[in-house]
């Protein structure tokens, strides 16, 4: 009975419930990937805004004391 277990069926993509589970897991991973990418973009934008607001804006002049 080697190869007739549920893991084998899932790996080959046979059966209605197995393929639904694999499709669900792939969709879940894709959604999580999109969430991470959006979070990284928001973080990068926030860092740019902070850098412009409080970061170095250029060489300091003597009259800027």
Neighbours of 32 (CB within 10 A): 10
Of 19, 47, 26, 7, nearest in space to 34 by CA: 26
- pTM confidence score: 0.57
Distance CA 37, CA 29 (A): 12
User: Is residue 61's pLDDT more than 80?
Assistant: no
Residues 8-26, mean pLDDT to the nearest whole number = 70
Looking at every residue in the chain, the average pLDDT score rounds to 78
Residues 8-24, mean pLDDT to the nearest whole number = 68
Query: Would you place residue 1 in the very low, low, confident or very high pLDDT band (cuts 50, 70, 90)?
Result: very low
Of the candidate ranges 13-17, 19-23, 42-46, 59-63, the one whose mean pLDDT is the lowest: 13-17
Of 35, 32, 6, nearest in space to 19 by CA: 6
Task: Answer positive or negative: Cα dihedral of 14, 16, 20, 21.
Answer: negative
């Amino acid at each position: 009975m080697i190869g007739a277990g549920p893991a084998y069926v899932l790996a080959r993509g046979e059966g209605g419930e197995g393929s639904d589970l694999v499709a669900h897991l792939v969709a879940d991973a894709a959604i999580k990937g999109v969430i991470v990418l959006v979070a990284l973009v928001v973080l990068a934008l926030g860092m740019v805004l902070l850098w412009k607001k409080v970061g170095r804006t250029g060489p300091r002049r003597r009259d800027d004391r």
